A and B are shown apart, each in its own frame.
Chain A
Amino acid sequence: MTTKNEKIKNSPKEPVEMSGSEAMIRSLVAEGVDTIFGYPGGAIMPIYDALYDFGHHVKHVLVRHEQGAIHAAQGYARVSGKVGVCFATSGPGATNLITGIADAMIDSTPIVCITGQVTSGLLGTDAFQESDVIGISMPITKWNYQITSPEEIPEAIAKAFYIAASGRPGPVLIDITKDAQFGKLNFLYEKCTKIRSYVPEFPTDKKLLKKAADLINEAKKPYLIYGQGILLSGAEKELLSFIEKTGIPVASTLLGISALQSDHPLNMGMLGMHGNYAPNIKTNECDVLIAIGMRFDDRVTGNINTYAKQAKVIHIEIDPAEIDKNIKTDVAILGDAKHSIRLLNTLVEEKKHTLWVNEFLQAKQKEHDKVIVNDLTPTKPGLTMGEVVRLSTNLTDNKAVIVTDVGQNQMAAARYARFNQSRSWVTSGGLGTMGFGLPAAMGAKFGAPEKEVILFVGDGGIQMTIQELGTISQENLPVKIVILNNDFLGMVRQWQELFFEKRYSFTEITSPDFVKLAEAYGIPGASVSDRKDLEPAMKEMINAKGPYLLEVKIEQEDNIFPMVPAGGTVSRCLLGADEL
């Protein structure tokens, strides 16, 4: 293959005439894009043609379905911190991205989607493969824009990357008509650094910080909860210094996991519906609640009318629309988490809250005795999700990137995986997208090729995007897939058991022979159902050089506890079905 461009990395300093499609690829290269997940089709063919010459600079991953492309871009972005990029054609190609865009929007993941569009003269004529993707994606993108002439390309792409990655990140969609791809322009690329109608982050108000510090310094029972904002702003070290200086116990939201290493003595675990016991009940016992980079999702708060009413609430958050949205705050500090915590660290006093921390530890012990011990060292013959997850992180020194699908597999992984590296946890939080796992794991491996990537997925979720085994096989991508198979849509079944009188309405699901299926894709695999076989099989999976699929047959009717039932109060966090 001959490439006509040798000095592609260097953007031209003077305007150079070229096609819109070449300008598109050059713009992406100028933004540092090294991986694109996509699927070609009629309306994006000129861009794919231009891409053909850029093979040495940009890796294109051909997925099997556009939903796979966007979830892969999400996985890539979450582990690498870079903007994930995907390509799709017009019409069905573009609409197949929608679920992933919505997922990236609610989970603040920086993504740029480029979709082809019919020639501008055909817009609005119901042309072949025409869909109004700008209209469709409007409520679920941070920004979107349709390019209809080639001259708009560099500026639109520069804005797209700036908007996607800055402030509270999110997905951006750029729709480009076929004539804009074919047309010529004088290309010169300039990065976007400012948009007058958009302030990505406000400068931290020092007076408010002082007010927050005073509350923290006077608190007897301070408690810090954090979300993905810590990871997104790169505030892991600042968070660590803060808690070590102040001695304040902390807990994380589902998306904040891995920002602080799991075995830190002040890390009390996860908040929320299936979070840990202590973090939930202590929310309603603390006197000062410091929330950083999180949005008080209903899965975290339960009933907001009974949430932390006794506490002064400090909220450090980059998005002004999140302030007082769900929980009224006493001190709201707008701005970047890293910067704010760094400043706060200079104002807070060194302390130890030994008694208060002990209260957490006692609650932790209670959860351990009633729940964790049964999950990790079960006495019954059936395998538990918890023991499978914990074994995998034990065998990888807590360094693996853990990706999950949605449901019981996700909650078991969130509860029992251990981490000592940041950005090692990829899951679909806000949208709860089943089918997210397999493609996201694929993207995560591209984003962190040096790390072991292990996916936990249910027998339901994997069948939603199972076609991506084809992509994994074609790329010989060493993703380790663990299917936690209980022959049920487990989480729905759990709710049916607990709240719908065990009426298992359409939650029994049959599966193909996953090992044979993997084999058909050229992916080795094994299936285990016996505890004695689990560790050798897990080791074989981890030692595999390429992709590997391990099916683990799980106890069929296991439940995830603790649980704060939907709309319940966090202080009534149930440790078992008997407490219902």
Chain B
Amino acid sequence: MRQEYIITAYTENHIGLLNRITIIFTRRKVNIESLTVSESAIAGISKFTIVINEEKEKVVNIVKQIEKLIDVLKAFYHTNDEMIFQEIALYKVPTQALMESDQIEKMVRDHNARILEITKEYTVIEKTGHKEETQALFDGLNQFGVLQFIRSGRIAITRSPIERLSEFLRERDALFTKMEAKAK
């Protein structure tokens, strides 16, 4: 069954790795719905968060191929309900519209959005949430004409209490120690 999966990969911060990872999807003709890359809590280690709509079997295959890359430390996959995730969206609306009725203000309140900047010509509103939520606000605001709109890629964390990477790095250290001992 096709559904949304969130693939998370922890990698060394090396040039070209983004390309190495994305061609794994390209080769299998899998579209990336959303992609976020940023430094993780551990300096020098990047975190990729990739959203795809696929069947589990293919997701497992892709995750293994990602993990096979030399510079990738670990890759995971999760369904949406296994993670807490957010996207951020920015909306630019004409300030005139804000002045003319209280509807925009009400929408900002109801959607838990906030206003970042107001100028004579435009107002920038920020909203974080799931795609449906940022989309709902867009649809609302668009009655007044959204001048510009941008949505970020998804970021996500697991529901487990600790960062899985720290756990993983400990395991790997132990593995290397064991292997070195064996080699001696």
Which residues of A approach B to under 8 Å, CB–CB? Answer: 134-135, 138-139, 142-143, 163, 194-199, 202-203, 319-321, 323-325
Determine which residue in A143, A203, A321 has the highest number of CB atoms from chain B within 10 A of its CB, and name it: A321
Closest approach, in angstroms, between the C-beta of A196 and any C-beta of chain B? 7
Q: Which residues of A contact B64 (CB under 8 A)?
A: 320-321, 323, 325
Interface of B is mostly: helix
Q: Which residues of A contact B71 (CB under 8 A)?
A: 197-198
Q: Is the CB of B178 closer than 8 A to any CB of chain A?
A: yes
Closest approach, in angstroms, between the C-beta of A421 and any C-beta of chain B? 29
Q: Is B70 touching A198 in the complex (CB atoms < 8 A)? A: yes
Roughly how many angstroms separate A139 CA and B26 CA in the complex, as a whole number? 10
* Closest residue of B by beta carbon distance from A163: B70
* Closest residue of B by beta carbon distance from A320: B64
User: Given known contacts A138-B19, A138-B20, A138-B23, is B70 in contact with A143 (CB within 8 Å)?
Assistant: yes
Closest approach, in angstroms, between the C-beta of B173 and any C-beta of chain A? 8
Closest approach, in angstroms, between the C-beta of A267 and any C-beta of chain B? 32
**Chain B interface residue number, banded:** 20 to 34
Q: Is B72 touching A197 in the complex (CB atoms < 8 A)? A: yes
Closest approach, in angstroms, between the C-beta of B104 and any C-beta of chain A? 46
Q: Is the CB of B68 closer than 8 A to any CB of chain A?
A: yes
User: Given known contacts A138-B19, A139-B27, is B65 in contact with A197 (CB within 8 Å)?
Assistant: no
Q: Is B175 touching A203 in the complex (CB atoms < 8 A)? A: yes
Roughly how many angstroms separate A325 CA and B57 CA in the complex, as a whole number? 9
Q: Is B27 touching A320 in the complex (CB atoms < 8 A)? A: no
Roughly how many angstroms separate A138 CA and B18 CA in the complex, as a whole number? 11
Interface contacts beyond A194-B180, A199-B172: sample of 5 additional A-B pairs, CB < 8 Å, sorted by A:
A138-B20, A163-B70, A197-B70, A320-B64, A324-B60
Closest approach, in angstroms, between the C-beta of B60 and any C-beta of chain A? 8
Roughly how many angstroms separate A143 CA and B176 CA in the complex, as a whole number? 21
Closest approach, in angstroms, between the C-beta of B11 and any C-beta of chain A? 7
Instruction: Identify the 8 closest CB pairs spanning chains A and B, nearest first.
Output: A321-B64, A143-B70, A197-B73, A321-B68, A198-B70, A139-B23, A197-B71, A197-B12
Roughly how many angstroms separate A195 CA and B60 CA in the complex, as a whole number? 24
* Closest residue of B by beta carbon distance from A198: B70
Roughly how many angstroms separate A134 CA and B23 CA in the complex, as a whole number? 13
* Closest residue of A by beta carbon distance from B179: A203
Q: Is A194 touching B27 in the complex (CB atoms < 8 A)? A: no
Q: Is the CB of B61 closer than 8 A to any CB of chain A?
A: yes
Roughly how many angstroms separate A155 CA and B162 CA in the complex, as a whole number? 34
Q: Is the CB of B16 closer than 8 A to any CB of chain A?
A: yes
Roughly how many angstroms separate A420 CA and B120 CA in the complex, as a whole number? 87
Q: Which residues of B contact A196 (CB under 8 A)?
A: 73, 172, 176
Roughly how many angstroms separate A139 CA and B172 CA in the complex, as a whole number? 26
* Closest residue of B by beta carbon distance from A172: B70
Q: Which residues of A contact B87 (CB under 8 A)?
A: none
Q: Is B176 touching A142 in the complex (CB atoms < 8 A)? A: no
Q: Which residues of B contact A143 (CB under 8 A)?
A: 70
Q: Is A142 touching B70 in the complex (CB atoms < 8 A)? A: yes
Q: Is B67 touching A320 in the complex (CB atoms < 8 A)? A: yes
Q: Which residues of B contact A202 (CB under 8 A)?
A: 175
Closest approach, in angstroms, between the C-beta of A280 and any C-beta of chain B? 26
Closest approach, in angstroms, between the C-beta of B23 and any C-beta of chain A? 5
A-B contact pairs, 27 of them (CB 8 A): A134-B16, A135-B16, A135-B19, A138-B19, A138-B23, A139-B23, A142-B70, A143-B70, A196-B172, A197-B11, A197-B12, A197-B70, A197-B72, A199-B172, A199-B175, A202-B175, A203-B175, A203-B179, A203-B182, A320-B67, A320-B68, A321-B61, A321-B64, A321-B67, A321-B68, A325-B61, A325-B64
Determine which residue in B27, B179, B182 has the highest number of CB atoms from chain A within 10 A of its CB, and name it: B179
Q: Is A319 touching B70 in the complex (CB atoms < 8 A)? A: no
Q: Which residues of B contact A198 (CB under 8 A)?
A: 70-71
Q: Is A194 touching B23 in the complex (CB atoms < 8 A)? A: no
Closest approach, in angstroms, between the C-beta of A144 and any C-beta of chain B? 8
Roughly how many angstroms separate A138 CA and B17 CA in the complex, as a whole number? 10
CB interface residues, B 13-55, toward A, < 8 Å: 16, 19-20, 23, 27
Closest approach, in angstroms, between the C-beta of B86 and any C-beta of chain A? 28
Within 8 Å by CB of B178, from A163, A194, A195, A203, lies A203
Closest approach, in angstroms, between the C-beta of B8 and any C-beta of chain A? 15
Determine which residue in B61, B64, B65 has the highest number of CB atoms from chain A within 10 A of its CB, and name it: B64
Closest approach, in angstroms, between the C-beta of A286 and any C-beta of chain B? 25
